[in-house]
Amino acid sequence: MTGTPSYNRFETLAWRYMRLSGVLIIPLVFGHLAIVHLINSVATIDYQWVVETRWAYLGWRLYDAFLLWFAGLHGFNGLRTVINDYVHNRTANRVLNYGAALFLILVLALGSIALIGTPIPEALANLP
Amino acid sequence: MEITLRIRRYNPEVDEKPYWAEYTLENVERTDRVLDLLHRVKWEIDGTLSFRRSCAHGVCGSDAMRINGMNLLACKALVKDFVKGAKGRIQVEPILGLPVIKDLIVDMDTFFEHYRTVMPYFINDEEPPERERLQSPEERAIFDESTKCILCAACTTSCPSFWANETYLGPAAIVQAHRFIFDSRDQAASERLAILSEENGVWRCRTIYNCTMACPREIPITQLIAEVKKEIGRR
Ligand code: FES
């Protein structure tokens, strides 16, 4: 046969990513659930708690950053898959895919800005 | 025993839409096949009932249909698998996801188009050796399962991914590609893998396992698809 066949690297990568991120998300999500819903309670958690208690530690910021990016991209790729499966009209398919991508960018940007931009409060200075 | 056969019928020339018809058959043996019952309806009750069958022995792959909700070959499905007592019902419909032409006959064009897409034939441009292209038993074993496919379409038409989007090549086409991709004598593996790496190729498989359950030849289809996925990942 002639020439080098061209592989669709994007779809291959997307598939790999889903598997890998899926495994990573399991501990991240359950950890998050445990911290936010079991150990603490969403009724008492507020801005103050997140910024002063949790995000005082770089480790927790990284944890949340991983969760944000891995779960965000994982969810988006899943949504893209569903759209491509079920929406056969070209225009509608495009609109929905771009919409989903836009939403993803918005969520990632907002989350990242909060994670990076929130100043490390004084609490850090009084580490036990 | 007495069996009521409930058949999804449709004649586009007469019927506005498909409907269920019921036929009661007496003196049915437990070991009769669903195909025998269909024959009895056609030969004794209503000659207009249409379905495909050829070998009647699970070899040709003509008579895949949805029997009690499962994709099976009518010639391999025994009455006793569905009815335990002296009386019972068996429901037969055409396989899903392909347009119905008449009664249990579906239009297989899409299915065979996908089959042709993966180049399901031996490709090797080298001069053949004097006697034959040799292969070790180990090399042969790698694609042994995929040689068993009879193209009955039970797998592809049990796949929700295919139902949702008929551009998906489907499990049968991937099994057929597997047959040649892993054949040490064949030289077009990369071409086939490239085709299967596209969006409509293996990535539309969501590991649902319906195909594996549907296969009348007991081919571990989902596993074979995974082998193709891995092979694409390695390239
Ligand atoms: S009639 Fe040939 S497989 Fe059933």
Determine the average pLDDT of the residues in B34-41. 98
pLDDT tens readout for residues B165-180: 999 999 999 999 999 9
In the beta sheet, which residues pair with residue B8?
A: B20
Decide: B123 and B190 in contact? Cβ < 8 Å. Answer: no
* Same domain assignment for residues B87 and B167: no
- Among the candidates B105, B133, B151, a domain finishes at B105
Same domain membership, residue B116 and residue B214: yes
Tokens of residue B16, six digits:
């506005």
pLDDT number for residue B102: 97
Q: What is residue A46's predicted lDDT score, i.e. its pLDDT?
A: 86
**Which residue, B71, B105, B139, sits at the end of a domain?**
B105
Residue spans of the domains in chain A: they are: 11-120
Supply the range of the domain harboring residue B9: 2-105
A15 in contact with B, Cβ within 8 Å = yes
B31 Cα–ligand 1 center, Å: 17
Please indicate, yes or no, whether residues B80 and B141 belong to a single structural domain of this protein: no
- What is the spatial distance between Cα B13 and Cα B28, in angstroms, rounded to a whole number? 32
Work out the average pLDDT over B140-164: 97
The tens digit of pLDDT for each residue in B183-219 reads 999 999 999 999 999 999 999 999 999 999 999 999 9
The one-digit pLDDT tens for each residue of chain A (128 residues) are: 456 788 999 999 999 999 999 999 999 999 999 998 899 888 888 888 888 888 888 899 999 999 999 999 999 999 999 999 999 999 999 999 999 999 999 999 999 999 988 876 655 555 55
B5 touching A, CB under 8 A?
Answer: no
Distances from the Cα of A123 to the Cα of A13, A49, A52, A114, A128, angstroms: 41, 11, 6, 18, 10
pTM given for the model: 0.88
Q: Which two tokens stand for residue A9?
A: 């690297």
Residue B25: its H or E element: strand B19-25
CA terminus-to-terminus distance, chain A:
68
Residue B90 contacts residue B82 (beta carbons within 8 Å) = yes
CA-to-CA distance for A30 and A36, rounded, in angstroms?
Answer: 10
Which of B46, B81, B105 is a domain's end point? B105
Question: What CATH number corresponds to the domain at position B149?
Answer: 1.10.1060.10
> What is chain B's mean pLDDT, rounded?
97
Report the residue from A1, A12, A86 with minimal CB separation from B232. A12
End-to-end CA distance of chain B: 58
B106 Rama class: left (phi>0) / alpha (psi -120 to 50) / beta:
beta
B194 contacts A15? CB cut-off 8 A: no
Is residue A19 within 8 angstroms of chain B, CB to CB?
Answer: no
The topology under which CATH files domain A11-120 is: 3 helical TM bundles of succinate and fumarate reductases (1.20.1300)
- Asked if residue B50 and residue B123 are part of one domain, the reply reads no
CATH at B95:
3.10.20.30
Residue partners of B8: CB distance under 8 A and separation at least 6: B18, B19, B20, B91, B92, B93, B94, B103, B104
Q: Which amino acid is at B190?
A: S
* Shared-domain flag, residues B214 and B99: no
For residue B195, what is the nearest residue in chain A, using CA coordinates?
Answer: A7
Determine whether the shortest distance from the Cβ of B39 to ligand 1 is under 6 A: no
Residues B67 and B140 both lie in one domain: no
- Dihedral angle over CA of B93, B96, B102, B108, nearest 10: -140
Inter-chain CB proximity B188 and A1 less than 8 Å: yes
Determine the pLDDT at residue A19. Answer: 93
Q: What is the position in ligand 1's atom list of the atom closest to the CA of B75?
A: 4
Region for B103 from its dihedrals, namely left if φ exceeds 0, alpha if ψ lies in -120 to 50, beta otherwise: left
Question: Does B61 contact ligand 1 (Cβ within 6 A)?
Answer: yes
Judge whether B230 is closer than 8 Å to chain A, CB to CB. no
Query: Residues of B numbered 61-120 whose beta carbons fall under 8 angstroms of chain A's beta carbons: which are they?
Result: none
Residue of A nearest to B190 (CA): A5
Given a cut of 80, is residue B22 above it in pLDDT?
Answer: yes
Band of pLDDT at residue B235, cut at 50, 70 and 90: confident
Best of B190, B192, B206, B230 to disrupt the A interface (most A CBs within 10 Å) is B190
SS3 A17: helix
Query: Exposure pattern of B172-204 as b/e (b: 16+ CB <10 Å)?
Result: bbbbbbbbbbbbebbebbbbbbbbbbbebbbbb
Torsion angle, CA of B80/B85/B89/B95, rounded to 10 degrees? -20
pLDDT (0 to 100) of residue B54: 97
B90 and B150 in a single domain? The answer is: no
What is the rounded CA–CA span in Å between residue B166 and residue B160?
A: 10
3-state DSSP call for residue B9? Answer: strand
Three-state DSSP class for B23?
strand
Distance CA B219, CA B224 (A): 8
| pLDDT for the residue A5 | 80
Whether residue B230 is predicted with pLDDT greater than 80 in this model: the reply is: yes
Q: Touching check for B126 and chain A: CB below 8 Å?
A: no
